[in-house]
Amino acid sequence: MLDWWLPENVSTYGQEIDWLFHLIYYITGVTFVLVFVTMLVFLVMYRDRPGRRARYTHGNTTLEIVWTVVPALILVILTILSVPAWSKIKMTMPETDFVVQVTAKQFNWQVTYPGPDGQFGTADDKTLLDEMHVPVNKVVRVILKSQDVIHSFFVPQFRMKQDAVPGREIRQWFEVVKPGRYEWPCAELCGFGHSGMRGWIYVHTPDEYGKWAAQNLTAEAAPAGAEPKPEGTKAETTKAEPKKEGKAKK
Ligand SMILES: [Cu+2]
């Protein structure tokens, strides 16, 4: 019913997030209306009138216990209800052979593919700047790192948000069910250029992805300027060569 105001959900676990979001929305919405209606009624009922004296009150213990216990119970219930979504999205890692490394820095996303040998940290790694290409209906594992400050990997349509923390390698995953081009902003105020820190995630059909990978991830596809990185130093990042491939997608 509230689906019109959230970005379209294209991820396998988005439903579970949306359901909780809507539940919390209704609970807070109803509370908001009740509080305001009560306040307005009291404003009228207890307005100043000739001959009416103010009365001092010490409060009502029963009422205070009730309005403390009820919200506390609601929070406990919401916690219990969100456990399945949390454990599915954050605590479990589905098996997959598709792994990319994302290193956030002020103010870009650096996306590294392991290259034909399937290993990170080798000469055939390919690094793109501010774009990621993945196949549809495939579990994508992201190894998330930060080079400087805290950033946040956020793709609204995937219902995925995760901080990138310096010094940590955080593993996350997503699986998208609809091909397209999705905006990928940084959702953590990370410095002067934060508002310009965004990339695009291109979700391809398996055929299209195969073609893109053949053009961009094979040994021959080395974009000019992408030198193999020496051990332990940062790779030079280059804009992915055939921009047209992704740009054409909608
Ligand atoms: Cu950032």
Q: 25-57: per-residue pLDDT in tens?
A: 999 999 999 999 999 999 999 998 998 888 888
Tell me the CA–centroid distance for residue 199 and ligand 1, in Å.
11
pLDDT at 108 over 70: yes
- Measured CA to CA, the distance from residue 190 to residue 219 in angstroms comes to 34
Tell me the CA–centroid distance for residue 99 and ligand 1, in Å.
22
DSSP label at 90? I
Predicted confidence band of residue 237 (pLDDT cuts 50, 70, 90): very low
Tell me the CA–centroid distance for residue 54 and ligand 1, in Å.
55
Give the torsion sign (CA, 162, 167, 170, 176).
positive
Predicted confidence band of residue 243 (pLDDT cuts 50, 70, 90): very low
Tell me the CA–centroid distance for residue 211 and ligand 1, in Å.
31
Tell me the CA–centroid distance for residue 120 and ligand 1, in Å.
23
Tell me the CA–centroid distance for residue 161 and ligand 1, in Å.
13
Q: What is the mean pLDDT of the chain?
A: 87
Q: In angstroms, what CA-CA distances link 155 with 9, 76, 240?
A: 10, 28, 20
Mode of pairing for the β-strands spanning 170-175 and 139-146: antiparallel
